[in-house]
Amino acid sequence: MNPSPGTPRRWPRWLRRGPMEMVACAVIAAGLLMMLQPLAMVLFTWSFLTTLAGTALFMIVSKFPE
């Protein structure tokens, strides 16, 4: 069903800023934990890219509507 031209379209609930910012923060936190753990070299290897992806996601998501 198409909305009338005067009504704004609503984003899906999972694409709103609040939930997506929490996902981005979780990705950043996972990257930091991967960087600081001393056990697995493969986690350390991917930690920078994970943190970078989370930061980029946060910058993009911060432009989403409430």
- Could you read off the pLDDT of 8-60 as tens digits, one per residue? 677 777 778 888 999 999 999 999 999 999 999 999 999 999 999 999 999 99
Residues 11 and 64 sit within 8 Å (Cβ to Cβ): yes
**With contact defined as beta carbons under 8 Å apart, do 14 and 47 qualify?**
no
pLDDT band at 5 (very low <50, low <70, confident <90, very high): low
Asked if the model's pLDDT at residue 1 lies above 80, the reply is no
Confidence of residue 66 (pLDDT cuts 50, 70, 90): confident
Tokens of 43: 């986690």
For residues 41 and 47, give the distance between their C-alpha atoms in angstroms, rounded to a whole number: 10
Cβ–Cβ under 8 Å, residues 51 and 31: yes
- Give yes or no for a contact between 62 and 21, defined as CB atoms under 8 angstroms apart: yes
